[in-house]
Chains A and B, each alone.
Chain A
Amino acid sequence: MLKARVIPTLLWKQYGLVKGVGFDSWRRVGPVLPAVKVYNQREVDELILVDIVAHDSGDDPDFESIAEFGQDCFVPLTVGGGVTRIEHVQRMLRSGADKVAVNTVAYDRPEFVTEIARRHGAQCVVASIDVRGSHRDGWQCHSHAGKVPTGRDVRAWVRELEDRGAGEILITSIDRDGTMTGYDLPLIEAVVKEVKIPVIASGGAGNYRHMVEAVVQAGASAVAAASIFHFTEQTPAEAKAALAQAGVPVRSSFVLEAAAC
């Protein structure tokens, strides 16, 4: 049976990891490389690494750093930030990324999603979407790390991204981001209902119960979280134990069988 994934999100700005609240008031939380190494050693299910200022500079993504981070990562790695050309995708994959997250560029050129899917397969395109709003007023998609409202409604947008070839949706509530008050469950559920590709819930996880809710109630295939791992004693391993307790299948650690020949 397919397992629910617990995915630490590492947000990266210039030389270090950061974490904010509502995509603002960023705090430095340490260097990137040791974090990747520790998560790899602890055999997390997957890692998401996003350069949150790459879209600002207009420069190419920092492939050298990505290669350095990818080198010691033997679990799947999704890399995002500043991807605007097909060559970027190619270089990221060669630098150790398994999947590439696209966000801002997709609003300007939705056909770029199709181009990546054709060249490298739908499985390597993670469509990352940041939204503000609520169940009552609807959710509006925002580009440029949450700064620019796009006028697009999340339901229509996820459908379009799926049609254009995205392999997964990473849906983040900006309002919940960093608050640790729980995922926006109606949002996750709305997106899950809209598409037939896997959905990763993001924004607001503060405890393990929140993760159980996102999977069991809202139907997410995976849960991403940052603050809970940066700022509390809670760990991905314990999160998975809590999910298992709630009846959600999770991956258990590999145990080498005794050699019996």
Chain B
Amino acid sequence: MKVGVLDYGVGNLGSVVQALQELRVVTTLVTRAMDIHGMDALILPGVGNFADCARVLEEGGWFAALREEVQGAGKPLLGVCVGMQLLADYSTEGTPTGSNAHASGLGFVPGHVEHLRVQGCDLRVPHVGWNAVAPQSSRGGLFHRIPSGTDFYFVHSYAFLTADPGDILATTEYGIRFTAAVRRGKVWGTQFHPEKSSRAGFQLLSNFIENPEC
């Protein structure tokens, strides 16, 4: 099993790689889109601005390669934080006020990404810190052996609104209930950072790698 972490020039990839190595998983930092073909599973990290990430991914040929490998070949993909948001059709982040020119995502999980305030959250934003995650189904999959209510580390201002409620894997409360994790087929995403969520995060990453379907 070779896991490729997409290194397209943004964010803190060190901790994702370290966390996977801690789980004794063979991990490769993939720096060219064409190299993802040799991987068995893929992790798409992302921090910062959705529109910037999407632009870099598009220009570097990553979007095309991901469509081929994930939608075509059915390789498992985990998007983390902005990496999860990039699974959506589009985000309103980075869009000038009054403009409708939203930045497009991969469209692997139908829906879009919207600011927490616009979703009705009136608490302090960014949402920073440890918050409880409630999986929709109690057992198996990404949350295998992770009790409902386990705290994970979040740091974000935008959140995913899925078109199909069936794609919501877990939710979290912060003034509103928002999407904490998504799943559609072999595509998963977490709004929180498993690589910064200590042992709970290790368990989740290990679930993604081992994919226990029990």
Contact = CB atoms under 8 A, between A and B. Distances in A.
A2 B129 contact: yes
A5 interface: yes
Nearest to B49: A121
Interface string B2-28: 000000001111110011001000000
Given A122-B157, A123-B155, A197-B125, A251 B12 contact: no
Contacts of B157: 121-123, 167
Given A70-B14, A74-B201, A119 B52 contact: yes
A244 interface: no
Interface stretch (B101-109, B182-190, B191-199): B191-199
Contact of A43 (B82, B127, B198, B212): B198
A76 interface: yes
Interface string A223-261: 000000000000000000000000000011111111111
A32 interface: no
Contacts of A251: 130, 151
A72 B18 CA distance: 8
Nearest to B175: A2
Contacts of B19: 74
Interface string B63-87: 0000000000000000000100000
A10 interface: no
Contacts of B37: none
Interface in B165-214: 173-174, 193, 195-203, 212, 214
Given A120-B47, A221-B128, A98 B13 contact: no
Chain A's interface size range is: 35 or more
- From A74, A118, A124, residue with most partner B Cβ within 10 Å: A74
Nearest to A5: B129
Given A96-B12, A123-B47, A254-B199, A167 B128 contact: yes
A98 B147 CA distance: 26
Interface residues of B, number: 50
B61 interface: no
Contacts, number: 136
Contacts of A46: 129
B31 interface: no
Contacts of A254: 146, 150-151, 198-200, 203
Contact of A93 (B47, B139, B153): B47
B131 interface: yes
Nearest to A250: B130
A178 B199 CA distance: 32
A221 B124 contact: yes
Contact of B130 (A45, A72, A95, A119): A45
Contact of A124 (B47, B129, B196): B47
A96 B130 contact: no
A97 interface: yes
Interface string B42-63: 0000011100100000000000
